[in-house]
Amino acid sequence: MRNVAAAINRRLVILIPYLWLLVFFLAPFLIVFRISMSIPVTAMPPYEPVFDLSSGWAAWLEGLRELSFENYVWLTQDALYLNSYLSSLWIAFFSTILTFLIGFPLAYGMARAPLTIRPMLLLLVILPFWTSFLIRVYAWIGILKPEGLLNQFLFSLGVISEPLQILNTTTAVHIGIVYTYLPFMVLPIYATLEKMDHSLIEAAQDLGCPPIRAFWAVTFPLALPGVIAGCMLVFIPAIGEFVIPDLLGGSQTLMIGKTLWTEFFANRDWPVSSAVATILLIILVVPIVFFQQMQARAQERER
């Protein structure tokens, strides 16, 4: 009797979150895919053929015959979309490298810090992560503006004679991404470095290995899983970033998240924005699956 109850419990524990994710995470992607092949019309909802999930599978399948690839053809014809994808990938890639260059020494320094202050340092890295993303991006507007604090500061030092134009450029977007995503880079790297057995380095040095070579031969390879995890956590979400290019990048920075947003909210073209999202998802599937596999493997190792 108790085994039956346990089996039911077990099934409920699996089924409830499973169904929730199927309905609210997976099913929406199918709908995006479906609407990306519809035709925009001025109505509500603004696409055709309209379908209603309540009319059942037969109607859904019937609708499939009316679908067209027109939106995808449109995406290849207007250079805006291709440029947005390429520039998003480039900005995300370059920002990830910058974040790594700042994040690694920080994580390394934290892992080497005296044991007593390490929890405090960890809290200090986590704290900004809990602070609103929007606020952290907003904070940079006042600093980077032509009459902003950075320019005032450089001006008073006599380094520059006229204000630098940083806000509304790609540079500002890089700064924004590095700043907001830094904790995502630091935390996984710190986690691997902290677990590292320091006697390995001492052994290498005892055997006559200079510190810098010991770092590249021992420390870095051991930290690599953390480095890869950190880079994925920055790179993947940065590609689809909207808030940073919108507030810091101005009109001249193209990023796909912003293009999708404009297509949806300003042009009210739901089918084209669905097509943009579908292509973005296809680009991201490879890194996301890789990330997920890596997480699963890390979890296996910890058992």
Determine the Cα–Cα distance for residues 290 and 105; give it in Å rounded to an integer: 26
Judged by CB under 8 A, the chain residues 42 through 101 that form the site for another protein are 45, 51-54
Residue in 136, 154, 171, 228 binding another protein, rule: CB under 8 A: 136
| Radius of gyration of the chain, Cα coordinates, nearest whole angstrom | 25
Residue in 156, 158, 252, 303 binding another protein, rule: CB under 8 A: 303
**Pick from 123, 223, 206: nearest CA to 231:** 223
CB of 82 or CB of 237, closer to another protein: 237
Length of the chain, please?
A: 303
Neighbouring residues of 67: CB distance < 8 A, sequence distance ≥ 6: 34, 37, 38
Residue in 79, 115, 157, 212 binding another protein, rule: CB under 8 A: 115
In a 3-state reduction of DSSP, which class is residue 68? coil
CB of 274 to another protein, least distance (A): 7
29 binds another protein (CB under 8 A): yes
Q: Could you say which DSSP state residue 48 is in?
A: E
Residue in 9, 68, 77, 267 binding another protein, rule: CB under 8 A: 9
Residue in 39, 82, 106, 228 binding another protein, rule: CB under 8 A: 106
DSSP 4-15: HHHHHHHHHHHH
- Stretch touching another protein by CB under 8 A, among 76-84, 145-153, 155-163, 216-224: 145-153
CB of 76 to another protein, least distance (A): 20
In a 3-state reduction of DSSP, which class is residue 47? strand
198 binds another protein (CB under 8 A): yes
* # residues contacting another protein (CB under 8 A): 101
CB of 160 to another protein, least distance (A): 16
Return the half-sphere exposure (C-beta side, CA atoms, 13 A cut-off) of residue 205: 9
Q: Residue 110 in contact with residue 118, Cβ under 8 Å?
A: yes
252 binds another protein (CB under 8 A): no
